[in-house]
Structure 1
């Protein structure tokens, strides 16, 4: 059993966003969104360090003002995972480190999800993990909710925007929604970025398919926790309502 790894959380925070420019700096109850993500992530005891990775000096300044560790990365990365690798290399993390890619637009992140995603790495056979939760038929019909099917041992078979599996006779089915948290061994993260985009990745606009097309197993961990992301400015109201209810 591999018990000697160290885990690091990296939060990619890109300023440019088609639907919501400047999203990491969006104000939520007096603090920028990235602060809420960081504050929740650092509650996970398994993470030795949590760092923000950004390409924007405004975000760097805001992070430093709030004592949030930050590294400045190049602006031309094709994906958040590429940004994660550059940040991990700037931090000089070893090949046996576990790198957790923490979505920067989930201010209600539950730290327990981070614990769940790193625990499988106690086995040296695990190289990449991600999370999924059981969803309803209505959720499965939404093209923006990515679905995953997996083997008996928990390895992902496929991810799709379509409802998978397809229940041919039209009966209500069992579906699992993918949650976009990933953890990689540093060596596998390097390999992922070096491979370049794959055919299915381009077709579905899902970068995790690059791993499956190159025979790199993704271990799927089931969680009861929900992932609540911010896609548009109007989503902030929903986040504030949930925060308010939690305080009550």
Structure 2
């Protein structure tokens, strides 16, 4: 089963314009993401999907592979779908976030392993929540699972609600999970879901994966013990540099 890794990268960002090009200890963020993805044993090829000539110039500088995409895509998933049509012959697409410069290749391989089951069409990663700070942070999407480790629902609210229990006791009563924003799709499924109209649940929560659930798709999950560090703001960059060092 051939797997294509795609890294969507756009220059425009409300909170951090040009962040794919920021320097992180001598390397641009997009170079770091690309090198980490290329280290994943499960991927047969990795390509950066971008619509910006400044990002393309940087990719050429470090010798990466890129695909020029339209500028009007609403999400990284849409950008991946366009690239998938330009790279025929791949069975699975792994959508790797372009703002996680230290993503561990082990996480990419874990997600890829979901597709060893031929019934899996969509997959993502989740991580156990251990702190109240994460549990009640509305910037961190939570996910509820069924007995087959498939996602039932995602929400920025803390779900499931623990009735008759004080909030400080919720972590003792239930194992909560947060969503790790890396996706895998069979190529056929990727092309189908990007033809769907935005759904009511998606618009309510601003989470695109709810569009897939609302249209009857199943999303397989696997639990990772590794943390991810996304750069959304300049402050995030400072924190990541302190944590990672190099």
TM-score (norm 2): 0.95
* 1:235 corresponding residue in structure 2: 236
1:92 is displaced (CA, Å) by 2.7
* 2:94 aligned counterpart, secondary structure: strand
Instruction: Please identify runs of 4+ aligned residues in structure 1 that moved more than 4 A.
Output: none
Mapped to 2, the partners of 1:33 and 1:120 lie a distance apart of: 27
* 1:115 corresponding residue in structure 2: 109
**Residues 172-226 of structure 1 deviation map (CA, whole Å, 9 limit, x = unaligned):** 2321010000000000001110112111001100000011001100001111011
Question: What aligned pairs does 1:164-183 form with structure 2 within 5 A after superposition?
Answer: 164-169=159-164, 170=166, 171-173=169-171, 174-183=175-184
1:36 is displaced (CA, Å) by 0.6
Mapped to 1, the partners of 2:221 and 2:132 lie a distance apart of: 20
Contact between 2:2 and 2:89, CA under 8 Å: does it hold in 1?
no
Contact between 1:93 and 1:186, CA under 8 Å: does it hold in 2?
no
Q: How many residues align?
A: 239
Mapped to 2, the partners of 1:156 and 1:217 lie a distance apart of: 7
Mapped to 1, the partners of 2:135 and 2:213 lie a distance apart of: 21
* 1:191 corresponding residue in structure 2: 192
Contact between 1:8 and 1:50, CA under 8 Å: does it hold in 2?
yes
1:110 is displaced (CA, Å) by 0.6
Please list every run of 5 or more consecutive structure 1 residues that lacks an aligned counterpart in the other structure. none
Residues 93, 131 of structure 1: alpha-carbon distance in 2 compared, 3 angstrom cutoff: same
1:138 is displaced (CA, Å) by 2.1
1:93 is displaced (CA, Å) by 4.0
* 2:195 aligned counterpart, secondary structure: helix
Mapped to 1, the partners of 2:96 and 2:132 lie a distance apart of: 27
> Does residue 13 in structure 1 map to residue 9 in structure 2?
yes
Mapped to 2, the partners of 1:146 and 1:87 lie a distance apart of: 27
Q: Which stretch shifts more, 60-69 or 234-243? A: 234-243
Contact between 1:44 and 1:114, CA under 8 Å: does it hold in 2?
yes
Question: What aligned pairs does 1:23-172 form with structure 2 within 5 A after superposition?
Answer: 23-94=19-90, 97-135=91-129, 136-169=131-164, 170=166, 171-172=169-170
